[in-house]
Each structure stands twice: as structure tokens, then as C-alpha cells.
Structure 1
Amino acid sequence: MSPSKSDEIKASALELIGNTPIVALDRLYQGPGRILAKCEFMNPGGSIKCRSALYMIQTARKNGDLKPGSPVVEVTSGNQGCGLAVVCAVLGHPLTLTMSKGNSVQRAIHMEALGAKCVRVPQVEGTYGKVTLADVEVAESEGLRIVEETGAFLVNQFHNDANVTSHYESTGPEIWRQTGGHVDAFIATVGTAGTFTGTSKFLKEMNPELQSFVVEPEGSEPIKGAPITKVCHLLQGSGYGAVPSLFKFEYMDGTISVTDEEAIYYKKLVGEKEGLYVGYTSGANVAAAVKLLNSGKLPKNAWVVTMLNDTGLKYTPVPEELTK
């Protein structure tokens, strides 16, 4: 056996973040055009949020806002919490996370397995698996109370510019390199808007003709400018019914609405056709990509890049009545 190359041995889990592969969904969708999906579920925390977690913590340490060994607090729907748990475990920061009880319990189990403390806050509006903005605000209030009480560093993902930078400096360049610069459109769900804003900004700088589309749950489409008629939906971590502060309209060319049923259908199809077990926002992204390619808005040979945001292992199965 030949000796191992030094770059094949990673120093820590932090070096496992990013550089995820892109897979062509050619079995699920045969054209016109092509859907390319970035496998973000392969990050060590199981989601795309590992990227922003790493950048936000490293930035805070670099500028002195977070001292070595100091405690960290964040409000999360689960994925950011899992990413922060990876980063804080490696860097030695005690981590406390507040999360609505409406978010899947698998996320709390994951975070606590990595040494974090997860405070699950009762819902005030939604139901299990469907978390509303009001539910998030209650979890946020609890997080702010803990910060006030302990003096811990608040990551503040919804207002942290390093969230956007993480995708401008990693996700966007990776997509451009992996596709050889052949990207006609980019599609993403929006939670904090870090992924959409950072990635779209980079890709549009490389190709001003590229079109970027926001995926929103039907009935909760504030970016589209539509009235909010459905605050409860399955797309955990996105579609909260308000335009995030990190979102920039100048990087958006349009929005695409997706129903719960469409998200479920394409989540299932990604598994059965492509062998990938992903979450509901991933299903929504693929559903939106199919809609866009069938809309006639792009050339027939267009390549659309989207994100497989997280693993399906983070979710409780959906009630059977919703899958019919």
C-alpha cells in the first residue's frame, strides 16, 4: 500500500465542512434542461448550516467578540444548531441552543450528542413539524434571556453578515468550479437568506445573465409580496412569513411557490430515483427546479443548480394522510 497523502488526513471535523459534491438528478428528471444538486447533507452536521456555523464562529473569534473557551448561545430550528455543535465541540466552546418544540426532536438529539445543551421551547401557534414565526420568536426570547443571564456570545444567525459571507466565499465558488461555469439558474429556499444571498451574489458576479429564484412555501410568500395565508407548513427552517434582514432583492429574479404535497413528493422521489435521503426543503428545491425548467423561462438546455439542504434523518415521518 502506498503511503497516505497528508491532505487526505483531516485535522478535525472542521475540515469536513464544505467542498460537497454536486450530483445530476438525471434519473429523477430527464429534461428539458438538467437539475444539478449540491449535496449539503454530507457536511458533518448533516446540513448546509455547517458552513455558516464555521464562518460565524471563526469571525467572532478573529474580531475578539468570542474569547477562547467562552460560552455560545443561538436560537435555531435545528440545522444551525447542529452545525454550531460541530464547530463548538472542536473549538471548545460550551454551547446552548433554544429551539421550538415544533422542530423535530431528532435535531435536539443530534445537538446534544455533540455536547450541546438544547432548550426546547413550547409552541404558541404551530404544531409539531410546522413551526411559525411566532414559535421562533418565543424561542428567541428564551435565547436572549439566557444571554442576558450568562453573558454568553449570541451568534445571531438572522442578522450576522458572516452567514452571507460563508456562502459567498465557499458555496458560490464551489458551484462555479464544479460546473465549469455552466450555471444558468440558481434556486434555494430561504430561512436566514444566507445561502441565497451569498451564493447568488457570487454567481451573478461571475455570470450577470444567471437567474436566481427563491423557493417559498405556498401561502407563506413574503418575498413574492403575497399575503400570508398559511403560517403552518412542512418546510422547517424556511418560509417564516417575513423577509429576512440578510435578504437582498437585487440578487433575485423571481420566486417559485411549492406546496407541502409537492415537497413531500419530490423528497420521496429523490430517495427512490437517486438513492438520497433528504429533508423537506430539499424536496421543495427540486420541485421548484422542475417547475422552472418546465416553465419556458430558461433555454431548453439550461442547467439549474439547487441545494439538497439536509439529511432526511433529521425529521419525524410525516403523517400518512399528507402523503396520499
Structure 2
Amino acid sequence: MIHASVIGAMANSPLVELSRVCAALGLQGRILAKLDYLLPGFSKKDRAARAIIEAARANGSLAPGQTVVELTSGNMGTGLAIVCGVLGHPFVAVMSAGNSIERARMMRALGAEVTIVPQAKGSKPGEVSGADLALVDDAAQRLTVERGAFRADQFGHKGNPDAHESGTAPEIWAQSNGEITAFCDFAGSGGTLGGAARFFARHGVRCYVVEPDGARALAEGSARYPDHPIQGGGYAMPDLAHLREAPVTGHLAVTGGQARDHARLLARTEGIFAGYSSGANLAAAAELLRGPELGGCVAIVMCDSGLKYLSTDLWE
């Protein structure tokens, strides 16, 4: 099949069984990994970026040639940079200084204008807090007005969860021959889990929210210790629009160390070079197979590429 542009390749990523990981961890059951880090922007956010821009162009809220602005940890921005570049929209990415430099460099290489927002007082480089994200949001709102731009709004636009209800989840279901019993995902905007859960609930698949230990705002309503190295989520936001009505079975917590160790395990045993949130998803899936999903089949998403973390402590 020949696609008209690279946008057409933002779907149908492979599904791989992590049998070596399961053996190494002594798990009873199966883990299937959806390799969205192989999409053109090296992350699952390509799907949401495509859906949001295509929906906005279709309903007229995004005019031809109009600028697009969005806050991003780098993955949504990369997807938007690709889609906007192909479709002729200038794109401005607004990102915290706490995110890895590889993300900003990739977006600039793809033609995006990148605005870096200094972190909140007390924040640590490499760890983006809810306070940091609030500063990025303020800057994105200001730039949207100044540029007369369309705000992609990944935290609010329904195109985000819709992309996973109509794409990610049905792909996993078909590729697994309907054998999965559970799905879990690290919560950033909540779009992946919110959309996937709507599809999976119709097939009896149980879905779980994954958050950083100490920043379990969705599970507990507050964050005791919001600092963690898992970029792209875990912002200690107690209310995510995409998860408000999602049919969620339960909540799981992982530490930054667990996410790091499991990402390294993926690389060593399965040859999957993914990032922190992918490690968090694997750690959570292993916890499920040791507990409520013992003997089951858990699906997870490999959210982004390990190449985006070479400047961090993930690969030291």
C-alpha cells in the first residue's frame, strides 16, 4: 500500500508478545505490547495529532494555512509538527524546560517553532510537574491569542480519545484475536486510556489507570510527592476530561525507578527501545499479572522511543 503522505502511516503499529520479559519476571500470563514508538513521530501521540487536526479542518475551526499552537512534552508536538507540515499549517510547540532536549530538537527539525518555558521554582530538570505544565499552558494561551491560532488542546479535544477508540484499541483487539483480558496505560492527557476503555468495555476488557507513586491524583485526589522522572504524564492533575466517563476498573502506581528498570528490561530482553512511560506500563502490567489479572493477557502501549531520552538518566 502506498500512502499519499506520511500521515497515512500513523496507524496499524505491530503488536508483539513479551514472552521473554514474562519469563524473566516469572509471570503467569501474557503481555502484548503495541509498538506505537514505531509510528512516524516515534510516539502514540501521532494518532491524536492526526485526529485533532483532521477534525478541525473538517469542521472549519482550523482554516487553511492557519497557525496551530499546543503545549506538549514533545510527543504531541512531534505528531503535530508532522501533520501540520504536510497540511500547510505553521506550528508552534510550547514546552517546559524540564523535558528532554531531544524532543525540542526533533520538533524544530520537523519545521516547528519551539517555545521553551522555564520551570516553576523548585522544579527539577528532567521532571515536569503540574506547576510546570500550568506555566506552559499560560504561555500557550497567550501565543494562541497573539497568533490568531488554533489551539489543538490535547487535554480537551475529543479527537484525542476518539483516535484511540477507533484506532489503537480496535487494532489491538483484532491483532490479538480478541484474547486480551486487560489494558493499562500511564495517564498523561488521558486520551489513550479514555478512548481505548470505551472500546474495550464493550468486549469485557478491564482497563486500569497507571500513575506515578506519590502523584496518584486520579486515584487519591491529591499528590503527596509529585516529583518523578516519567515525562509526558503523571502531572498530579485530579481531573482529566478524557477519563471522567471512562469505564475504568482500577488504578495502579509505579515508581520512577520501576519505570526505568522495566524500560531497560524491555531493551535488553525484547529489543524494544522505548521510553519511561513504556517502562511504567510494563511495570503496571507485571503488577496486574501478579494480582487481579493473574493468568490473563494484558495489553500495553509502547508510548515513545528511547531515542528521546538519551540525555536523561534512563540509559546511564
Give the drift of 1:319.
Answer: 3.9
Aligned partner of residue 199 in structure 1, secondary structure:
helix
Does residue 217 (structure 1) correspond to residue 184 (structure 2)? The answer is no
How many Å separate the matches in 1 of 2:282 and 2:105? 28
Give the drift of 1:222.
Answer: 1.1
Aligned partner of residue 309 in structure 1, secondary structure:
coil
Residue in structure 1 matched with residue 20 of structure 2 by the alignment: 27
The answer as to whether partners of 2:275 and 2:306 remain within 8 angstroms in 1 is: yes
1:18 is aligned with what amino acid?
A: A
- Structure 1 unmatched runs, 5+: 1-6
Q: Tell which deviates more after alignment, 217-226 or 193-202.
A: 217-226
Aligned partner of residue 246 in structure 1, secondary structure:
helix
Superposed CA offset, 1:152-204 (max 9, x none): 11111101111111111101110110011111000101111100010111011
Residue in structure 2 matched with residue 143 of structure 1 by the alignment: 140
Give the drift of 1:249.
Answer: 5.2
Residue in structure 1 matched with residue 58 of structure 2 by the alignment: 62
Q: Structure 2 residue aligned with 1:94, among 86, 90, 95?
A: 90
Aligned partner of residue 216 in structure 2, secondary structure:
coil
Instruction: Provide the identity percentage.
Output: 39
Give the drift of 1:299.
Answer: 4.7
Q: Tell which deviates more after alignment, 239-248 or 67-76.
A: 239-248
Residue in structure 2 matched with residue 16 of structure 1 by the alignment: 9
TM-score by length of 1: 0.93
Does residue 309 (structure 1) correspond to residue 303 (structure 2)? The answer is yes
Does residue 39 (structure 1) correspond to residue 35 (structure 2)? The answer is yes
1:96 is aligned with what amino acid?
A: V
Structure 1 runs (4+) greater than 2 angstroms displaced: 316-320
How many Å separate the matches in 2 of 1:319 and 1:245? 32
Superposed CA offset, 1:232-264 (max 9, x none): 111111111112121135411111110111011
Superposed CA offset, 1:279-301 (max 9, x none): 00000000110111011x1252x
How many Å separate the matches in 1 of 2:313 and 2:146? 39
Query: Which residues of 2 match residues 140-219 of structure 1 at below 5 A?
Result: 140-205=137-202, 207-208=203-204, 210-219=205-214
Give the drift of 1:10.
Answer: 2.1
Aligned partner of residue 70 in structure 1, secondary structure:
coil
Query: Which residues of 2 match residues 228-243 of structure 1 at below 5 A?
Result: 228-242=223-237, 243=239
Q: Tell which deviates more after alignment, 249-258 or 84-93.
A: 249-258
Superposed CA offset, 1:31-50 (max 9, x none): 30000000010110010000
Give the drift of 1:227.
Answer: 3.6
Q: Structure 2 residue aligned with 1:131, among 128, 133, 136?
A: 128
How many Å separate the matches in 1 of 2:44 and 2:299? 15
The answer as to whether partners of 2:61 and 2:150 remain within 8 angstroms in 1 is: yes
How many Å separate the matches in 1 of 2:253 and 2:74? 23
1:228 is aligned with what amino acid?
A: A
How many Å separate the matches in 1 of 2:20 and 2:100? 30
TM-score by length of 2: 0.95
Give the drift of 1:317.
Answer: 4.1
How many Å separate the matches in 2 of 1:96 and 1:247? 27
How many Å separate the matches in 2 of 1:261 and 1:298? 23
How many Å separate the matches in 1 of 2:15 and 2:201? 19
- Structure 2 unmatched runs, 5+: none
The answer as to whether partners of 2:262 and 2:279 remain within 8 angstroms in 1 is: yes
How many Å separate the matches in 2 of 1:203 and 1:319? 35
How many Å separate the matches in 1 of 2:146 and 2:109? 25
Residue in structure 1 matched with residue 81 of structure 2 by the alignment: 85
How many Å separate the matches in 2 of 1:215 and 1:251? 14
Superposed CA offset, 1:205-238 (max 9, x none): 1x13x21111110000011115411111111111
Give the drift of 1:68.
Answer: 1.2
How many Å separate the matches in 2 of 1:298 and 1:98? 39
The answer as to whether partners of 2:197 and 2:246 remain within 8 angstroms in 1 is: no
How many Å separate the matches in 1 of 2:235 and 2:57? 30
